[in-house]
């Protein structure tokens, strides 16, 4: 069963965001996405200072199975990038909600976000 932390919001594309309305929002991919991707081997993330738009592609995640787009869950200016995960992309698989986070953004606009219950329902549909 996929973990769905109660303190996060989610996108239908399996990204998560913590503190979407605060001064800084941390972004990553969900455990469900990490499992579906397989072993993550490379991350292409936005650069600090870039402006990202909710729902738009802002990077890529390469795994042993495929290259998948990364979508911004909220709009805003990128304020930090997880350099540790860039150097050790396997962290996305090992700890997607912790040390495997991807970037932080100063949000300027909301995305189409799901609460934990709605995201859990979505993953159950996708698993079926």
Q: pLDDT, tens digit, for every residue of 6-52?
A: 999 999 999 999 986 668 999 999 999 999 999 999 999 999 999 99
Cα–Cα distance measured from residue 45 to residue 121, given in angstroms and rounded to the nearest whole number: 28
pLDDT tops 70 at residue 124: yes
CB count in 10 Å sphere of residue 48: 12
Cα–Cα distance measured from residue 28 to residue 98, given in angstroms and rounded to the nearest whole number: 9
Binned at pLDDT 50, 70 and 90, residue 1 comes out as: low
Which pairing describes strands 67-71 and 40-44: parallel, antiparallel, or unpaired? unpaired
Q: Which residue has the higher pLDDT, 112 or 100?
A: 100
Average pLDDT over the chain, rounded to whole? 93
**Residue among 83, 75, 77 at smallest CA distance from 113:** 75
Q: How far is CA 17 from the centre of its chain?
A: 7
CATH code for the structural domain at 9-110? 2.40.50.100
* Model pTM above 0.85: yes
């Amino acid at each position: 069963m996929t973990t769905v932390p109660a303190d996060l919001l989610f996108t239908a594309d399996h990204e998560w965001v913590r503190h979407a309305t605060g001064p800084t929002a941390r972004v990553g991919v969900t455990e469900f996405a990490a499992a579906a991707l397989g072993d993550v081997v490379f991350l292409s993330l936005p650069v600090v200072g870039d402006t990202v738009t909710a729902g738009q592609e802002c990077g890529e995640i390469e795994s042993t199975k495929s290259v998948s787009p990364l979508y911004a869950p909220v709009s805003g200016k990128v304020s930090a990038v997880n350099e540790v995960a860039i150097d050790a992309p396997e962290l996305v698989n090992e700890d997607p909600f912790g040390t495997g986070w991807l970037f932080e953004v100063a949000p300027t606009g909301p995305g189409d976000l799901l609460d934990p219950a709605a995201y859990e329902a979505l993953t159950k549909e996708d698993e079926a």
